[in-house]
Amino acid sequence: MSENSECFRMTNILGMKLAPLNTPLRRRLETSSVLFHLFANSVVNLISGLIFIWMLIFGLAPLVFLYCVWLWWDWESPYKGGYASRYFLNLQVHKLCASYFPLKFHTTSELPDDQNYLIGMHPHGVCGMSAYHFMSNGTGLWDRFPKINFHTCTLVGNFWVPLRREWLMLHGVINCSKESLRFVLGDSRKGQATLLVVGGAEEALDAHSGKHKLTLLKRKGFIKIALETGAHLVPCFAFGENDVYIQASNKEGTVVRWMQTMVKKWWGVSPILFFGRGIFNYTFGFMPFRTPLNTVLGTPIPVEKVQQPTQIQIDELHSLYIQRLTDLYEEHKEKYGIAADNHLIIR
């Protein structure tokens, strides 16, 4: 059932479309699961420090001390593959979150477990919602490839937040540093896969519905790592990712875009101005829209290990990767509602 069909008995007050009172329980649970993840990935960042201060004030200093000892002992884990837990990956909240959109995963080939893989996901979108496939078993990815250990890469700073760092690693998340990628992909063990949202914060600024502008032409660091480790490259495209939220107009050359670029340069994150739907309305809020998300995993590109890859080798593999990604997009776009004349813009 689409969001629009759900609204046949909605109430419209001052232009705001309110959710109907007879919304099925299942859909309310799906909304609650997304709200839970938004809380875990945003609000927790703001309040975790306050919680520790509260614990110090109210006589719980020994617990704070014990956590600090644990943090010191466990500090290198985000650089060394983390510790994904099948229990946490299979929590029901993940399945409910996936069915909210719904979020669906499609494969074009197998991933043999005698190789390691570096998966490049595009586009970034406002918040990279489609990367959720690899952070849980909500869409059955870990069941589809039971012998592959997936690791989703995120900013190093996300592991500076107490408690949230553990939550991330229990879901297979590691930091996106070169050291971290080399450790996982260069391991003598096989069946390791890392997901890297290549476009990053820069690409997030171009996340507008109906457009597919990728920041990729100068992104070659992941290509070099693939060559150094011999990890096979896998292009991955998330159809619908740019429709999850509506981003305010920020065309290049405008004051808004200039300010966003400056903040990104200083802090490393993009201050995106966006909105979605509300918890009890369909017009405005911080919840993502219920728009279908279809992620297609391409065929692995074989890569031979090169201890010290040359710039020519990097450029050649980079060009091949862009071609395979473009082919993947063109082959599947019309299946997921994209017009035939809508092409990738790669810069």
Question: For residue range 127-180, what is the model confidence (pLDDT) as tens digits?
Answer: 899 999 999 999 999 999 999 999 999 988 889 888 889 999 999 999 999 999
Q: What is the mean pLDDT of residues 76-101?
A: 95
What share of the chain in percent tops pLDDT 90?
Answer: 75
Structure confidence by residue, pLDDT tens digits, 94-114: 999 999 999 999 999 999 999
Asked if residue 223 lies in contact with residue 140, where contact means CB atoms within 8 angstroms, the answer is no
pLDDT at 44 over 90: no
Average pLDDT over the chain, rounded to an integer: 91
* pLDDT on residue 35: 93
Q: What pLDDT shows up at residue 300?
A: 98
Q: How confident is the model at residue 84 (pLDDT cuts 50, 70, 90)?
A: very high
């309110």: which residue's tokens? 18
User: pTM of this prediction?
Assistant: 0.91
Structural tokens at position 190: 């096989």
Q: State the DSSP code for 42.
A: I
Question: What is the reported pLDDT for 8?
Answer: 47
Query: What would the pLDDT profile of 257-307 be if each residue is shown by its tens digit?
Result: 999 889 888 877 788 889 999 998 888 899 999 999 999 999 999 999 999
Distance CA 134, CA 172 (A): 8
Tens-place pLDDT, residues 219-259: 999 999 999 999 999 999 999 999 999 999 999 899 999 99
pLDDT of 1 higher than 50? no
Confidence of residue 15 (pLDDT cuts 50, 70, 90): low
pLDDT(5) > 60:
no
Task: Please list, residue by residue across 132-146, b when 16 or more beta carbons sit within 10 angstroms of its beta carbon and e when fewer do.
Answer: bbbbbbbbebbeebe
Q: Please classify residue 221 by burial: count the beta carbons closer than 10 Å to its beta carbon, then call 0-12 exposed, 13-18 middle and 19+ buried.
A: middle
pLDDT at residue number 7: 46
What's the confidence (pLDDT) of residue 75?
A: 95
Above 90 in pLDDT, residue 52?
no
**What's the pLDDT at 3?**
57
Task: Give the model's pLDDT for residue 9.
Answer: 58
Structure-block tokens of residue 234: 């896998």
Taking CA atoms, 252 is separated from 209, 214, 345, in Å, by 16, 14, 15
pLDDT at 14: 65
pLDDT band at 4 (very low <50, low <70, confident <90, very high): very low
Where is 224: in which H helix or E strand? helix 221-229
Q: What average pLDDT does range 67-77 have in this prediction?
A: 95
Question: What is the reported pLDDT for 19?
Answer: 79
CA distance 113 to 91: 25
Cα–Cα distance for residue pair 22/176, rounded to 1 Å:
44
d(Cα 288, Cα 274) in Å, to the nearest integer? Answer: 10
Q: What is the pLDDT of residue 148?
A: 96
